[in-house]
Structure 1
Amino acid sequence: MKSIKKQCPYCFNTVRCNSSGIPYDNECHFCKAQVKDQKGNVFLTENYNRSPLLRTHAVIDLQDAQKPVPELRKYHTLELMILLNYVRAERARIYSLWETFLKAKESSDIPGEFAKVLPQEIKKVQSDYFKWKSHMNVLENLLLERLGYIPERIDMEFIMNQLELMKSSSKDDPEIEKVLNSLTAIYC
Structure 2
Amino acid sequence: MEPLIFEEEAFKPIEELWKLKTYELLLLLKECRKRRSEQYELLSDMQRINNKTGNTISKDDMRLFQKDYLQLTEVQKNIERLIKKRLDYVPRRLDDRYLSQYLYQMTHNAKKG
Fold shared per TM-score above 0.5? yes
Matched ranges for 1:42-53 at <5 A:
none
Helix, strand or coil at the partner of 2:92: coil
Aligned to 1:171: 111
- Mapped to 2, the partners of 1:139 and 1:96 lie a distance apart of 22
Helix, strand or coil at the partner of 2:19: coil
CA contact (8 A) 1:101 1:118 kept: no
- Mapped to 1, the partners of 2:51 and 2:33 lie a distance apart of 27
Q: Which has the larger radius of gyration?
A: 1
**Unaligned residue ranges in structure 1 (runs of 5+):** 1-59, 174-188
CA apart distance, 1:172:
7.0
CA apart distance, 1:167:
2.2
Higher strand share: 1
Name which of 37, 55, 60 aligns with 1:120: 60
CA contact (8 A) 1:61 1:86 kept: no
Identity %: 27
- Mapped to 1, the partners of 2:5 and 2:99 lie a distance apart of 16
Aligned to 1:94: 39
Higher helix share: 2
- Mapped to 1, the partners of 2:70 and 2:88 lie a distance apart of 25
In the superposition, the TM-score normalised over structure 1's length comes to 0.54
Matched ranges for 1:1-188 at <5 A:
61-63=5-7, 64-108=9-53, 115=56, 117-171=57-111
State the Cα RMSD in Å.
Answer: 2.0
- Mapped to 2, the partners of 1:61 and 1:150 lie a distance apart of 22
Helix, strand or coil at the partner of 1:150: coil
